[in-house]
Amino acid sequence: MDIQEVMGSVSSRKEDCIIFGLRRSQDSCPEVELKSMTTSTERERWQKKRQYSPQELELALKVLESVRSGAEVRQALRANPLPAGRGFLAKHALVAAYRRMVEKGEWEEDPVLLSKIRMKPIRTLSGVTTITILTKPHPCPGECIFCPSEAGLPQSYLSDEPGARRGVENHFDPYLQVSSRLTALHQVGHPTEKIELLILGGSWSAYPADYREWFIRRCFEALNEENPLDDQGPVSLAEVQARNVNGVHRNVGLVIETRPDLVTLEGLLELRRQGVTKIQIGVQSMDDEILLLNRRGHTAEEAETAVALIRAAGYKVVVHWMPNLLGATTESDREDFRRLWREGGLQPDELKIYPCQLLESAELYRYWQAGDYQPYSEETLISLIADVKLEVPRFCRINRVIRDIPSPLVVEGNRNTSLRQDVALFLKQRGQQCQCIRCREIRYGKVDAESLTLTDQVYLAGNAEEHFLSFNTPGDKIVGFLRLSLPKVQSNPAIPDLHEAAIIREVHVYGQSLEVGSEQVGAAQHIGLGTQLLQQAERIARDRGYLGLAVISAVGTRNYYADRGFELGQLYMRKSLE
Ligand code: SF4
Ligand SMILES: [Zn+2]
């Protein structure tokens, strides 16, 4: 068993958002009517491209044979062109031919071959496949002046963003979104055994309780490939989750997004029952004046309290930070960024930097028209992001530095959505390098277990002393890590599983997410690094006198922890250290 609780490189679009432009039929009832798949032109085109003639499949087999005998995929494709100058086969045709051979029993599963022919291999390189799902439009309690809106979409989402588009195409139905994505990922050769679900679309906590329960149940039912029509009467979420523990598509991470003022202990307990493991929170700024000016509706202190509570409950925390808000300058942004890393403060595990972008549908547009707001130019933004990146601690992962808004929609200011590469280049020219997890993740390549060094970075965050344990290569690449929280005070008496316990908030070991049962010698997930990290965490917790070691496990990682001595409690898994 090699399942780790891992979180891949998520590709979320927006933070803590929901919608104004409701669709009546959906708002009145959580049971969103099950509709057939959309027949949009785009979907038809996508499907059409994935229908192969016998000649194409035959050609694909030839290509596969030559890749199996050692040829490069590109070379093999070039050597076998389509007839009549029609170009070359796409990689998904190779995956289809491969799948057929395996299904017919003519070929054994060959994960190495599959890893060569899959499209966008980087997507699952972090060790897990992420599926993004959008909730239905719903009124937002926020009034942020920078927030765009588009009819028929959750507040702040734009239909041109890929994640949002899939939500619309599937009428925001969770089952359809998950199952159609599973099919598509399988068709392009990605493994679908370990799935992280990323629920976007709004402040999750602001949706009605019955909708939230239904939405998560439908996601799990889609992963379990059961109850497609939702016609089996009352089904309990706990039962559906129990079936996912050994299911075909196991859930190894579940992420929601919210706002600081909506975080409560009660809400966090409910999220835990629903299987949530990570929370994205829109902080945007730690300057009360800026928050007020942009009508965020919460203070910096509220953000600190919320993040401390989230951490005390064992969740991973992703903070969204927004430079270039109304009233900010590049100097004040640099100062504001430092507040994220105050000792005992937020110290987020992951960070999304979404520079404010000027869109016509946002109220900020009027400030710009009146000459009271000016977006940063591309050059200014690159230099600002480069500077702040250098201040990011090694325990944090910067997931994004720009939101993927189609450039024609941006009224003025930066339109470059591949800013990350430009920032990296800029830093390189200055002889500097970002130290965040993302920039040090081992990507391709084998790992020599003997050469790895285990380090323990200790820092204070919220009411906890955090230990970031990581295995690093001699070249300072990160191969695996564990986040251990030692609560300074027993701040959560309402959570019995956490009583007198140190908390493991994350275990992540890199390596291409493999099909279950397959082996790939040297891949980081297969040399017991997860177990070694757990043992080290246990030593630390024991030395510090904790009576137990708790872990916030996703439903699909319960077996992994059970095999390592953890027992399922009410909401967490726990190992006694007494
Ligand atoms: S108004 Fe604010 S809280 Fe609401 S969706 Fe927009 S950014 Fe998010
Ligand atoms: Zn980085």
DSSP string across 208-276: -HHHHHHHHHHHHHHHHT--TTS-SS---HHHHHHHHTT-SSEEEEEEEEE-GGG--HHHHHHHHHHT-
Q: Is pLDDT at 522 greater than 70 in this prediction? A: no
Give the tens place of pLDDT for each residue, 342-385: 999 999 999 999 999 999 999 999 999 999 999 999 999 999 99
Distance from residue 126's CA to the centre of ligand 2 (Å)? 15
More confident residue, 157 or 340: 340
The one-letter amino acid code at 446 reads: K
- The mean-pLDDT minimum among 281-295, 471-485, 489-503 falls in 489-503
pLDDT band at 541 (very low <50, low <70, confident <90, very high): very high
Q: How far apart are CA 468 and CA 214, in angstroms?
A: 36
Q: Is pLDDT at 282 greater than 60 in this prediction? A: yes
* CATH number of 449-576, picked from 3.40.630.30, 3.10.20.740, 3.90.1150.10, 3.50.50.60: 3.40.630.30
Of all protein residues, the one whose alpha carbon is nearest to atom 6 of ligand 1 is 147
Mean pLDDT, the chain, as a whole number? 86
Q: What residues have their beta carbon closer than 5 A to ion ligand 2?
A: 398, 434, 436, 438-439
The one-letter amino acid code at 530 reads: G
Ligand nearest to the CA of 139: 1
In 3-state terms, what secondary structure has residue 132?
strand
pLDDT band at 102 (very low <50, low <70, confident <90, very high): confident
Distance from residue 539's CA to the centre of ligand 2 (Å)? 30
pLDDT on residue 119: 66
Residue in the block written with tokens 């295995």: 471
- Nearest Cα residue to 505 out of 486, 483, 536: 483
Q: Is pLDDT at 127 greater than 50 in this prediction? A: yes
Distance from residue 401's CA to the centre of ligand 2 (Å)? 10
Distance from residue 397's CA to the centre of ligand 2 (Å)? 7
Structure tokens at 212: 């939230």
Provide residues with CB under 6 Å of ligand 1.
16-18, 140, 142-144, 147, 155-156, 259, 282
Of all protein residues, the one whose alpha carbon is nearest to atom 7 of ligand 1 is 147
**Mean of pLDDT values over 384-400:** 97
pLDDT band at 65 (very low <50, low <70, confident <90, very high): confident
In 3-state terms, what secondary structure has residue 80?
coil
pLDDT band at 461 (very low <50, low <70, confident <90, very high): very high
Query: What sections of 170-208 are H helices per DSSP?
Result: 174-187
Evaluate if pTM is beyond 0.85.
no
The helix (run of H) or strand (run of E) holding residue 508 is strand 501-509
Rg (CA), the chain: 24
Sort strands 250-258 and 350-353 into parallel, antiparallel or unpaired.
unpaired
Distance from residue 441's CA to the centre of ligand 2 (Å)? 9
Residue limits of CATH 3.40.630.30 in the chain: 449-576
Of all protein residues, the one whose alpha carbon is nearest to atom 4 of ligand 1 is 142
pLDDT band at 122 (very low <50, low <70, confident <90, very high): low
> Which CATH number applies to 277-440?
3.30.750.200
Structure tokens at 66: 């030559």
**Mean of pLDDT values over 194-204:** 91
- The mean-pLDDT minimum among 148-162, 486-500, 525-539 falls in 486-500
Give the tens place of pLDDT for each residue, 395-418: 999 999 998 888 888 999 999 888
Residue limits of CATH 3.30.750.200 in the chain: 277-440
